[in-house]
Chains A and B, each alone.
Chain A
Amino acid sequence: MLSGLPAVLINAALISALYALIAIGFTMIFGVGGVLNLAHGALLMAGAYVYLLLARDTISVPVFESMTLHPLLAFPLAVVIVAVLSYLLYAVIVQFVEDNPVVTFLATIVVALAATEVVLHYAGSATHTYTLIPDGMLPSTIDIGPVDGILTVDVVGFVVSWISIGLLWVYVTKTDSGRAIRATSMTERGAQLTGVNVHAVRARTWLVAGALAGIGGVFLGASTSATPNMWLHPLSLAFIIVVIGGIGSIKGSIVAAYLIGFLQTGVGEYLGQNFRGILSLVLLVIVLFVLPQGLFGREFDHE
Chain B
Amino acid sequence: MADDPLLSVEAIEVFYGKTEALSDVSLSVDEGEIVGVIGPNGAGKTTLLDAISGFKSFEGSITFDGTDLSKIGPEQAVREGLIYCTEKRDLFPYFSVHENLLMGAQARDDRDAVRDDLEEVYELFPRLDERREQEAETMSGGEQQMLAIGRALMGDPKLLMLDEPTLGLAPVIVDDISEAIERLRDEGLTILLAEQNSTFALRHADRLSLLENGEVELQGSASEFRDNEYVRDAYIGIH
| Chain B interface residue bracket vs A | 20 to 34
Encode contact with A along B105-133: 1 for CB under 8 Å, 0 otherwise. 01100000000000000000000000000
State in angstroms the CA–CA spacing of A196 and B73 once bound together.
11
CB distance from A31 to the nearest CB of B (A): 11
Is A121 an interface residue, CB under 8 A from the partner?
no
A196 partner residues in chain B, CB cutoff 8 A: 75, 103, 106-107
Contact of B106 among A187, A189, A195, A298 (CB under 8 A): A195
Smallest CB-CB separation from B78: which chain A residue?
Answer: A195
State in angstroms the CA–CA spacing of A194 and B99 once bound together.
12
Is A127 an interface residue, CB under 8 A from the partner?
no
B85 partner residues in chain A, CB cutoff 8 A: 193
CB distance from A269 to the nearest CB of B (A): 38
Beta-carbon contact of B106 and A180 below 8 Å: yes
Beta-carbon contact of B104 and A194 below 8 Å: yes
State in angstroms the CA–CA spacing of A179 and B92 once bound together.
11
With A176-B106, A195-B106 known as contacts, the answer to whether A183 contacts B74 (CB < 8 A) is no
Encode contact with A along B76-88: 1 for CB under 8 Å, 0 otherwise. 0011000111100
Beta-carbon contact of A176 and B102 below 8 Å: yes
With A183-B95, A187-B92, A187-B93 known as contacts, the answer to whether A192 contacts B102 (CB < 8 A) is no
State in angstroms the CA–CA spacing of A196 and B106 once bound together.
8
Q: How many residues of A are counted as interface, with CB atoms below 8 angstroms from the partner's CB atoms?
A: 19
With A187-B90, A187-B92 known as contacts, the answer to whether A195 contacts B155 (CB < 8 A) is yes
Is B207 an interface residue, CB under 8 A from the partner?
no
Contact of A194 among B73, B93, B94, B107 (CB under 8 A): B107
With A176-B102, A179-B99 known as contacts, the answer to whether A193 contacts B90 (CB < 8 A) is yes
B95 partner residues in chain A, CB cutoff 8 A: 182-183, 186
State in angstroms the CA–CA spacing of A176 and B107 once bound together.
8
CB distance from A56 to the nearest CB of B (A): 44
A195 partner residues in chain B, CB cutoff 8 A: 75, 78-79, 106-107, 155
- Mark B residues whose CB is within 8 Å of A: 53, 55, 73-75, 78-79, 83-86, 90-95, 99, 102-104, 106-107, 151-152, 155
19 contacts between A and B (CB under 8 A): A176-B102, A176-B106, A182-B95, A186-B93, A187-B92, A187-B93, A190-B91, A192-B74, A193-B53, A193-B74, A193-B84, A193-B86, A193-B152, A194-B78, A194-B107, A195-B75, A195-B78, A195-B155, A197-B75
Given contacts A190-B91, A191-B103, A193-B53, 17 further A-B pairs with CB under 8 A are A176-B106, A182-B95, A183-B95, A183-B103, A186-B93, A186-B94, A187-B90, A187-B92, A187-B93, A192-B75, A193-B85, A194-B106, A194-B107, A194-B151, A195-B78, A195-B106, A196-B106
